[in-house]
Amino acid sequence: MYEKRKAKRLEEKSEITITIVSGGKKSPEEKIMYNQSKDISVLGARIKANSFLPINTLLKIDFTLKNPHQMMISTLGKVKWIKSLFANESYEAGMEFVHTPGDVTQQLAIYISYKQNIKYLNPV
């Protein structure tokens, strides 16, 4: 099967804070949500949300990398796809990072490479 992804993904759950920057008429009333990412790359993330996020909703995402320094990452992302889980009680969405500063992209790349190397050296 052809892989569409342009960057390696790290499957790792992380607590995230999502702030809706803009989203149109069908955006949730709640502007700040606490959710979870399911995987991440330098270009985007797959998130689990408790509210429907319309496609093209602009979000601010804050999360902490699980490394010894517990580095906080903050960036903007745009919802590219969303699907309902559990009868519209929770959702999974794909988010593309936009306007991400170069240093944040570099920190993510280093972190993902580091975590993947550890997993490769210490398979479960």
Q: Structural domains in the chain?
A: 10-121 (2.40.10.220)
Residue among 41, 45, 32 at smallest CA distance from 9: 41
The gap from C-alpha 34 to its chain's centroid, in whole angstroms, comes to 12
d(CA 51, CA 94): 14
| pLDDT tens for each residue of 19-59 | 888 866 666 666 778 888 888 889 999 998 888 889 999 99
| pLDDT tens for each residue of 77-116 | 999 999 998 777 789 999 999 988 888 889 888 888 888 7
Q: Note if the pTM is more than 0.95.
A: no
Please answer whether residues 55 and 79 qualify as being in contact, where contact means their C-beta atoms are separated by less than 8 angstroms.
Answer: yes
* Model pLDDT, residue 6: 65
Residue among 105, 36, 115 at smallest CA distance from 74: 105
